[in-house]
A and B are shown apart, each in its own frame.
Chain A
């Protein structure tokens, strides 16, 4: 028994150590975002929110943010909608090779992002499409789609099949029952999937970098600021992005639990 509690304590400490390691850099970033000094060194000189002002008054950050929002919202709308119908057919049909098709839907999850970026850029340029925010939207939709399908098909497989059957027997067409029975039953998962795909697209850098020309997204802007000489405003923007992502991510988790 004594040994066991020793092990328990050790695992407990290990857990906190890992959480600490994960969140330390973020914590440091948050602290420095309020530091009035230009340099990233302790001790802090004095507290300020000037960096936040600067972010909101810098047209480049605002442009990046606007572009990012536009792309992410479009991506999550497209991916959630497509994934809803994909999941419906995956869950409700039983054709040959279904499991292989399922695999194809999920592989973008393990394909390196850089491959998606490069191949899409080459293919779409060869078709005469110039890199732009629209291409980023397409690329990121492909990137977040497996995630959306995983979430939604998981939820859909929990809906009793005979709800729809009861609707059909009362005179509902298949299309109608999808919208009136299945869609409301997936309500929370749909919102959660939308939020989740939004945060993934919002943070995405590689695809955005490869498929873009001049209209930068927020992650690209942050990266440019980093390589062209450190700007402490990055701490402020990082803090904002982190807090937004955290809130959205937690909301999504709660919604998934609610089904």
Chain B
């Protein structure tokens, strides 16, 4: 398979009066695994569909490899798309579904059969080849859809929330499998999801999107550890995002010292709920207002006299002593604090 690069140049997309993608620029190298991450309605799926050719661009250019494909119909693009509901052809059995792309390429029948068998083995469904799509499970359907997309050896594989319909266990396994397939074939993957964990576990780079624009483009660990904006911080699971002024209310000397020496562009900061040290203390400034159990951790919300609410979490078993209205003292380690630009 020949992996291809993608270049999106100044893409705009408008549906009637609603602008869903704004002057979008992105270069994806051949062989990358890039995830478009964002809440629903941020334009990530529309962007993917435009790369596939299923949606016209209002303005701008799309390049796949070195070729301008902006007006090329989907069947002439070197892309293959996989949908959340898999879109298996209901009137064809598994074997026919997988081989359909090769049939379109006018490849000899016995070669189609051979290659289809190879893929059926690869996905462990060789005994299911004459079943119809409705006769197999969701996870199996998913693998059939993947095989159907990959058998045509596309330069780019586009995946539209392909794991969205699977249960949590299966989803974890498929993440590992997808990642394996990506490194095995080395083709470019563009993956759309709203699930940050999926994005973090598989991507080489993540494009965090908000209202049709790039909010942050970085490697998974950078996005997780150093979000740039409060939107990115919240999306990556930072439970505590405050403006700097608000946080001055906390009686914590270290924190204030640290902030005074930082650059003045930052006006917000964030920290994770697990990065807060706390202890039960009669003199504590904070009072517990909620407590929830999550299996491997407890999560608390605490409030001070100035109505500042902070989220804490701990996997310490001592936390069982903490109940509603327990007084608590907080310490936030200054190197766990991430400064944000708006």
Contact = CB atoms under 8 A, between A and B. Distances in A.
B101 interface: yes
Contact of B80 (A160, A169, A174, A181): A169
B169 interface: no
Contacts of A173: 73, 75
Interface string B60-85: 00000000000001110101110101
Interface string A168-201: 1111111010000100110100000000000000
B306 interface: no
Interface stretch (B29-37, B86-94, B123-131): B86-94
B90 A166 contact: no
B52 interface: yes
A163 B89 CA distance: 6
Contact of B81 (A165, A174, A176): A165
A90 interface: no
Give the interface SS of chain A, mostly helix, strand, loop or mixed: helix
Contacts of A206: none
Given A168-B75, A171-B75, A162 B152 contact: no
Given A165-B74, A165-B81, A176-B104, A170 B152 contact: yes
B298 to A, nearest CB: 43
Contacts of A185: 90-91
B24 interface: no
B231 interface: no
B144 to A, nearest CB: 12
B141 interface: no
Contacts of B73: 168, 173-174
A166 B87 CA distance: 7
B224 interface: no
B81 A166 contact: yes
B87 A170 contact: no
Contact of B87 (A160, A172, A187): A160
A166 B83 contact: yes
A181 to B, nearest CB: 6
Given A165-B54, A185-B91, A171 B105 contact: yes
A181 B85 CA distance: 16
A167 interface: yes
A171 to B, nearest CB: 4
Contacts of B81: 165-166, 169
Interface of B: 52-54, 73-75, 77, 79-81, 83, 85, 87, 89-91, 100-101, 104-105, 148-149, 152, 158
Listed from nearest, the 6 A-B pairs whose CB atoms lie closest are A170-B101, A168-B74, A166-B87, A184-B91, A171-B104, A162-B87
Given A170-B100, A171-B152, 6 more contacts: A165-B52, A165-B74, A167-B89, A168-B74, A169-B77, A170-B152
25 contacts: A160-B87, A162-B83, A162-B85, A163-B89, A163-B90, A166-B81, A166-B87, A166-B89, A166-B148, A167-B89, A168-B53, A168-B54, A168-B73, A168-B75, A169-B54, A169-B75, A170-B75, A170-B80, A170-B148, A171-B75, A171-B101, A171-B152, A172-B104, A184-B91, A185-B91
